[in-house]
Amino acid sequence: MSDQHSTEAANDYADPEHIEHTSSGTGLALPGQNLPDKVYIIPIHNRPFFPAQVLPVIVNEEPWAETLELVAKSEHHSLALFFMDTPQEDPRHFDTSALPLYGTLVKVHHASREGGKLQFVAQGLTRVRIRTWLKHHRPPYLVEVEYPHQPSEPTDEVKAYGMALINAIKELLPLNPLYSEELKNYLNRFSPNDPSPLTDFAAALTSATGSELQEVLDCVPMLKRMEKVLPMLRKEVEVARLQKEISAEVNNKIGEHQREFFLKEQLKVIQQELGLTKDDRSADLEQFKQRLEGKTLSAQAQKRIDEEMNKLSILETGSPEYAVTRNYLDWATSVPWGVYGQDKLDLKHARKVLDQHHSGLGDIKDRILEFLAVGAYKGEISGSIVLLVGPPGVGKTSVGKSIAESLGRPFYRFSLGGMRDEAEIKGHRRTYIGAQPGKLVQALKDVEVMNPVIMLDEIDKMGQSYQGDPASALLETLDPEQNVEFLDHYLDLRLDLSKVLFVCTANTLDSIPGPLLDRMEVIRLSGYITEEKVAIAKRHLWPKQLAKAGVSKGSLSINDSALKALIDGYAREAGVRQLEKQLGKLVRKAVMKLIDDPKAVIKLGPKDLEASLGKPVFRNEQVLSGIGVITGLAWTSMGGATLPIEATRIHTLNRGFKLTGQLGDVMKESAEIAHSYVSSHLKQFGGDPKFFDEAFVHLHVPEGATPKDGPSAGVTMASALLSLARNQAPKKGVAMTGELTLTGHVLPIGGVREKVIAARRQKINELILPEANRGNFEELPDYLKEGVTVHFAKRFADVAKVLF
């Protein structure tokens, strides 16, 4: 298109203000000129063009340049714009069926060409519909058109809709200033009371899709069109309002943050200028120096910490090395260097604390008081390593707590059960990521003194793995000669643990390595007899269960005979944990009744136990008796137990000896020794010397499913075989223990206390013990020895004298 044409077109076009309304009320016409009946068409793709709009339109120069040149040469300078949702691949081969029903007749202004594009201002005039195609093979496309008509007088309903549209537009204006520009443009050309252009203008304001807007363009009847547009406009108002709220909220938050950040930075600078605060590095250094005040460091520790502090003062706070050094100083300055707590060396107070927390355990309490007495005499208690050994539930951990309380020292407990990594004891090396000091340094940090009571629980249950052997790492810790200079790998500083009182606990000594056991002082807690358990239940366990359930003593009580029946029938083990569980069960059952009747008073007697706890777990064991049956005594990790042994002759066809009862190697050997000894000395003990030459003998230890082992059944097995050979039942109510040699000597055994308790529990009051264990028996408390007759045997002949 030439420049001449452009200028001509520009001069020729009427001013928008001189456009006047046609009588139809729907279309627009130029002064003194009717609407053309033949026009060229151009498809547009973004959204439909409305009659109430004046907007620039951009099209490709190829193939629409010729169309625009022809429009410029025409008298009316108009063309029709039709909306197409999907652009045609090739505009030269036009699919006429793709065009919608209605388009818009526009007047072309200010056409120009730039960079392969044509641009012109389109001024919407009226809706237009194609009547017939005059040229549709290739552009320019020429069509014959017609214009819709509708009544000029608007009805009341149309006026009401018009008001609603105007109100919605008013709401839109404050939300987005762009709308007000469009409204000014519209008011320059139309009356606000004219419903048709108002509706089209309202539709053009919305951000609806092209197809939705085309539906509005296709809808000629006024009322229907308004019904379509009003919801679209209301939706637009809501969206605009929401957007405004969101952006206001975002701006508000950003503003607040910026203000806060700005003020904080200003405050930091002002404070630093006035010397009121320091930066992070200075604050850290000051904190570490404060921690060391009042502590007495060794020369090595002081030198090392000073070096690390100097290093920290040079490093950048953001560097990884800074974090490592800071973490190291955090631990090193937390250790209570040279800070010792004051011990309460008052033996009366200690005795009171021990009696308050524990019933029974008289010998254990005496042992602890002796240990405290030495400290009181000397004026200080230097570190000692005590190992409390005993079955589960006898109160080993609580004894450790009581020692700490009686001394007035802080108490720290950690369990070694399952520990497999020596770094838990001695710390990791600082080079590793996530390195930490060992548990002992952590304990000292927590208790804030260098002389606490540290309990190492379950020392017999430590593991071993490729990561190391924690039992060996404990050797340095628990050796009074070495732990003066205990070295933690993380701190790499010498710590004095010689004033720490270590209390270790174990159920059995078998799994503790010899060198470690050698460093500890063993105190045995062997379990309780019935009388002690009754006292413990009354004084400690029953009140504890009542408090746990929130039941008053007046509402629920249990008498002594019921406690005794409970212990004999349901909780016969060495400790009191099972007893505590059964008492808890009784309280829970009673609470169920108290909920139904809150004012009830429940008194539990022996007859009430079965209803709450079921049938007794333990029956009064019938002590087996008869020819070839002897009651032995055994020690287990759960306490002492009686162990009957039976012997019988199966036949006399050939000599033989058979063993059953899941016996360990040691017990099998004991049986072989007993068989050999009794066979060779049968005449001496008044039996038929030929008895074993032609007898096939079977020796059985009942409860075949339970594994049994240990070096204390030799005497019992020999007695059973002798009873069988003499065909004479042994003396009733006698139990025995002892190891036998091939020459008939009776060797000493362990666990005398547990075995005596087990015999008393079975109401056996006559015992045979090795002579070498006389001292162990005499050391027992009087209440255990009371009413028990003991025969001490040096040789097997002494045993035979008592039995037969």
Q: Counting beta carbons within 10 angstroms of the beta carbon of residue 627, is it exposed (0 to 12), middle (13 to 18) or buried (19 or more)?
A: middle
Q: Say whether 434 counts as a known binding-site residue.
A: no
Q: Say whether 515 counts as a known binding-site residue.
A: no
Q: What are phi and psi of 157, to 5 degrees?
A: -65, -40
Q: Round to whole Å and give the CA distance between 45 and 53.
A: 16
Neighbours of 132 (CB within 10 A): 10
CB 397 within 8 A of CB 469: no
Q: Round to whole Å and give the CA distance between 223 and 19.
A: 25
Q: Round to whole Å and give the CA distance between 684 and 354.
A: 54
User: Which tokens belong to 188?
Assistant: 């320059």
Q: Round to whole Å and give the CA distance between 732 and 527.
A: 26
CB 647 within 8 A of CB 720: yes
Name the β-bridge partners of 79.
Answer: 106
Going by DSSP bridges, is the β-strand pair 28-29/38-44 parallel, antiparallel, or unpaired?
A: unpaired
* Residue located via tokens 């050698």: 518
Q: What are phi and psi of 735, to 5 degrees?
A: -125, 155
User: Which tokens belong to 741?
Assistant: 């040699």
Q: Round to whole Å and give the CA distance between 571 and 392.
A: 13
Among candidate residues 196, 712, 719, 723, the one labeled active-site is 712
CB 646 within 8 A of CB 580: no
User: Which tokens belong to 704?
Assistant: 């075949």
Q: Say whether 390 counts as a known binding-site residue.
A: yes
Could you tell me what percentage of the chain is helix, strand and coil, using 3-state DSSP and rounding each to the nearest 5? Answer: 45, 20, 35
Among candidate residues 755, 763, 794, 801, the one labeled active-site is 755
DSSP calls for 317-363: TTSHHHHHHHHHHHHHHHS-TT--PPP---HHHHHHHHHHH-SS-HH
Q: Say whether 91 counts as a known binding-site residue.
A: no
Please give the DSSP secondary-structure letter assigned to residue 36.
P
Burial profile 241-256: b = 16 or more Cβ within 10 angstroms, e = fewer: eeeeeeeeeeeeeeee
User: Which tokens belong to 7?
Assistant: 């200028």
Q: Is-catalytic flag, 398?
A: no
Cα Dmax for the chain: 158
Q: Say whether 392 counts as a known binding-site residue.
A: yes
> Which stretches of 458-500 are assigned E, i.e. beta strand?
486-487, 494-495
| Closest to 771 (Cα-Cα) out of 800, 742, 737 | 737
Q: Say whether 395 counts as a known binding-site residue.
A: yes
Q: Round to whole Å and give the CA distance between 37 and 22.
A: 16
- The torsion defined by the Cα of 456, 458, 463 and 469, in degrees rounded to 10, comes to 30
Q: Is-catalytic flag, 712?
A: yes
Q: Round to whole Å and give the CA distance between 34 and 16.
A: 16
Q: Round to whole Å and give the CA distance between 426 and 673.
A: 48
Please give the positions annotated as active site: 712, 755
**Which residues make up each annotated binding site for ATP?**
390-397
**Which residues make up each annotated binding site?**
390-397
